Amino acid sequence: MRIDIITVLPELLESPLNHSIMKRAKDKGLLEVHIHQLRTWAVNEYGQVDDYQYGGGAGMVMMCEPLVNAIESLQKERTYDEIIFLTPDGERFNQKKANQLSLKKNLILICGHYKGIDERVREHFITKEISIGDFVLSGGEIAAAVVVDAVGRLLPGVLNDETSALFDSFQDNLLAPPVYTRPAEFREWKVPDILLSGDLKKIEDWRHEQAVERTKQRRPDLLED
């Protein structure tokens, strides 16, 4: 998979995408992430990519020309399955959408800033708009890192245990069950006997029951879905 990210602050993405599982995915050649400085396509020598909004009002708007030139420049090299704008008013990102995007080959992520991007870019180039939650960030870089991480870890071969991602929270609209590790007893707090039994079927049933119960208590809305 290849993901191209267009941003005015590429340095915000360097650390999240160059460590841990994302680094492993890139080292294995399973994920390519290319970060592009939008100012490369600036409208003047001062690196301008934003301007005042028509009709007045506080805040600047990211201009059409730099964004369109950036997108079209990348499209000359390959076909993209989705051109995604990270924005608070987009579709809520969840595990289902991460699964869907993990099946794609090439993605562009556009990180918004200021008061957003010129609506004409959204109308004519953006194929999907994504929000990571009902709150506003200073820019789309953190949201882009979240999407890349959530999608990248699902690619076959990225995780050491191929089945690990299948049991993550939200994969089947359930939260993950409790997990334990050594020692079996700590300060008289004991690991449930079932997990020490070696009976894989009973352990699987117990984990499912715990996942359902935890979801009922903490996120009953998931069960409604």
Question: Is residue 160 domain-resident?
Answer: no
137 token code pair: 């960030």
- Same domain assignment for residues 91 and 197: no
CATH of the domain at 124: 3.40.1280.10
Residue whose token pair is 């160059």: 18
Residues 38 and 106 in one domain: yes
Residue 158 lies in a domain: no
What pLDDT was estimated at residue 163? Answer: 53
Let me know whether 182 and 93 are in one domain.
no
Same domain membership, residue 176 and residue 147 = no
**78 with 178, same domain?**
no
- Would you say residue 157 lies in a domain? no
- My answer on whether 6 and 84 are in the same domain is yes
In DSSP notation, 108-166 reads EEEE-BTT-B-HHHHHHT-SEEEESSSS--SBSHHHHHHHHHHHHTTSTTSSSSTTGGG
Task: Give the pLDDT band (50/70/90) at residue 224.
Answer: confident
Same domain, 72 and 139: yes
Domain assignment of residue 164, yes or no: no
Q: What is the number of structural domains in the chain?
A: 2
Is the distance from CB of 151 to CB of 132 less than 8 angstroms? no
- Specify whether 22 is located in the same domain as 119: yes
Q: What is the DSSP letter of 190?
A: E
How far apart are alpha carbons 102 and 59 in whole angstroms? 35
Q: H or E segment at 91?
A: strand 82-92
DSSP reduced 3-state for 98: helix
Q: Please give the pLDDT value at position 172.
A: 80
Residue 162 is predicted with a pLDDT of 56
Name the pTM for this structure.
Answer: 0.89
Report the chain's mean pLDDT, rounded to a whole number.
Answer: 94
User: Do both 91 and 126 map to the same domain?
Assistant: yes
**Within a domain: 161:** no
For residues 135 and 196, membership in a common domain is answered with no
Please tell me the distance from the alpha carbon of residue 90 to that of residue 118, in angstroms, as a whole number: 15
User: Where is pLDDT greater, at 169 or 48?
Assistant: 48
Q: Does residue 81 sit in the same domain as residue 185?
A: no
Q: Write out pLDDT tens, residues 102-118.
A: 999 999 999 999 999 99
- What is the reported pLDDT for 173? 87
Residue-level pLDDT at 116: 94
pLDDT bin (cut points 50, 70, 90) of residue 188 is very high
pLDDT mean over 194-203: 97
Give the integer Cα–Cα distance in Å for 18 and 26.
8
Q: Report the pLDDT averaged over residues 58-72.
A: 97
pLDDT tens-digit series, residues 138-185? 999 999 999 999 999 999 999 876 556 655 667 788 999 999 999 999
CATH code of 192's domain = 1.10.1270.20
Contact between 73 and 40 under an 8 Å Cβ cutoff? The reply is: no
How far apart CA 197 and CA 206 sit, in angstroms, is: 12
183 upstream amide cis, omega within 30 of 0 = yes
**How much is the average pLDDT of 69-88?**
98
Domain that holds residue 217: 169-224
37, 7 in Cβ contact below 8 A? yes
Q: Are 42 and 49 in contact (CB under 8 A)?
A: yes
Same domain, 68 and 130: yes
Q: How many whole angstroms separate alpha carbon 216 and alpha carbon 210?
A: 10
Q: Which of 152, 179, 208 is the last residue of a domain?
A: 152
Of residues 80 and 113, more confidence is placed in: 80
